[in-house]
């Protein structure tokens, strides 16, 4: 029975009693007999098969009570070592005067271990603080000096100095004449694009760099897209699709090509699309030359009558170019 076992067992017993737990309940929960638990609380390691069993059972018992077994045993052993290092009191009889003279020395001897430990911790703490301060000063000097060397005449610093110094304001007209009461620039409203197809068509809409619509348009279904800054719009057969910007009906077709292909709409030119002046500001491209229809022969007519029996309307449109303002011209001139 060692002093370590006795102190550990006493600690476990006090913690169990503080928690109000019965020894039999813990024994049934841990599957350790109550006799062995009593031996652990009394510090009697000889009552168990070996000291190894005592350690294992005591560790399980301590963990059940919420006690760190390793740290507790280390603390008990450190306390025992400290007690062993303290000098034993001498049994030599002394006189009253001699006892009074040696009393301060005894007190100083008893306090010396804890005082020395405190002194060492204090020295380490002070040294750490001084070291961190020196490192911070060195890092500050290195990086600040490099920043000054790279940017010797920082514009922001010069403006701050000019504002703080009245004389510098007079010497710097740009700063002196600057209106510091300029209101903050508000973000622009979103651009909303609405598509409604009267007949089957398709569209590709890119909003702020992201493709939001890339599909065939179902007739009479409304497709709405929003962008913070810009759209890029492509629509197949534009005459079949109704387009609106911010709820206002607009015409995005290029007058020269009669197509809507990669049309750029942004916060800058939005107003020109809304008032219909966008294409008026852009020089029109030269009109494409029209190719004359090839002369038809009897062999051509016979071939077409065999391959296209129900396409007589197409033949007539090929022979005579449609009026540019007619709806048929809009459909024929719009490609995908």
Instruction: For helices 51-64 and 69-85, give the axis angle rounded to 10 degrees.
Output: 120
Question: Does 265 fall in a domain?
Answer: yes
Tens digit of pLDDT for each residue in 200-244?
999 999 999 999 999 999 999 999 999 998 999 999 899 999 999
Q: Domain boundary at 85, 119, 138, which?
A: 85
CB 225 within 8 A of CB 257: no
State residue 86's pLDDT score. 59
Question: Does 241 fall in a domain?
Answer: yes
The enclosing domain of 11 has a CATH number of 1.10.260.40
For residue 314, the tally of other CB atoms under 10 A from its CB is: 12
- Quick one: which of 139, 135, 5, 144 has its CA closest to 62? 5
Express as a percent the part of the chain with pLDDT over 70.
65
Question: Does 251 fall in a domain?
Answer: yes
Question: Does 227 fall in a domain?
Answer: yes
CB 69 within 8 A of CB 8: no
The enclosing domain of 263 has a CATH number of 2.60.60
CA–CA separation, 335 and 259 (whole Å): 7
Question: Does 165 fall in a domain?
Answer: yes
The DSSP code sequence of 113-149 is HHHHHHHHHHHHHHHHHHHHHHHHHHHHHHHHHHHHH
Q: How far is CA 88 from CA 78, 79, 106, 111, 259, in A?
A: 18, 16, 11, 15, 108
> How large is the average pLDDT for residues 293-302?
50
Question: Does 308 fall in a domain?
Answer: no
More confident residue, 116 or 190: 190
Give the range of the structural domain holding residue 75, as residue numbers without chain letter. 3-85
Question: Does 92 fall in a domain?
Answer: no
Tens digit of pLDDT for each residue in 21-55?
888 888 888 888 988 888 888 888 887 888 888 88
Same-domain check for residues 201 and 274: yes
Domain count, the chain: 3
Question: Does 90 fall in a domain?
Answer: no
Q: Domain boundary at 178, 200, 218, which?
A: 178
């Amino acid at each position: 029975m060692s002093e370590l076992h006795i102190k550990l067992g006493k600690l476990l017993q006090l913690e169990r009693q503080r928690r109000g737990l019965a020894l039999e309940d813990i024994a049934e929960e841990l599957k350790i007999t109550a006799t062995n638990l009593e031996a652990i609380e009394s510090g009697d390691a000889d009552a168990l098969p070996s000291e190894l069993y005592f350690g294992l059972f005591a560790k399980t018992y301590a963990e059940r009570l919420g006690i760190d077994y390793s740290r507790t045993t280390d603390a008990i052993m450190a306390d025992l070592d400290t007690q062993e290092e303290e000098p034993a009191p001498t049994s030599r009889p002394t006189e009253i005067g001699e006892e009074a003279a040696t009393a301060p020395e005894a007190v100083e001897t008893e306090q010396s271990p804890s005082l020395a430990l405190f002194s060492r911790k204090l020295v380490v703490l002070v040294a750490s603080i001084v070291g961190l301060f020196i490192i911070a000063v060195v890092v500050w000097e290195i990086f600040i000096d490099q920043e000054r060397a790279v940017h010797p005449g920082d514009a922001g610093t010069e403006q701050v100095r000019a504002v703080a110094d009245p004389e510098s304001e007079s010497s710097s007209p740009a700063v002196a004449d600057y209106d510091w009461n300029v209101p903050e620039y508000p973000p622009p409203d979103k651009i909303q694009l609405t598509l409604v197809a009267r007949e089957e068509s398709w569209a590709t809409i890119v909003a702020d760099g992201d493709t939001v619509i890339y599909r065939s348009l179902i007739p009479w279904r409304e497709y709405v897209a929003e962008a913070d800054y810009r759209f890029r719009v492509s629509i197949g057969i534009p005459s079949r699709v109704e387009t609106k910007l911010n709820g206002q009906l607009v015409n995005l077709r290029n007058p020269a090509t009669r197509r809507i292909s990669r049309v750029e709409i942004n916060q800058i030119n939005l107003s020109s699309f809304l008032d219909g002046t966008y294409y008026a500001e852009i020089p029109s491209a030269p009109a494409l030359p029209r190719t004359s229809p090839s002369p038809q022969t009897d062999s051509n007519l016979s071939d077409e009558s065999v391959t296209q029996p129900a396409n007589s309307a197409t033949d007539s449109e090929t022979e005579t170019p449609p009026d540019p303002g007619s709806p048929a011209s809009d459909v024929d001139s719009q490609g995908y």
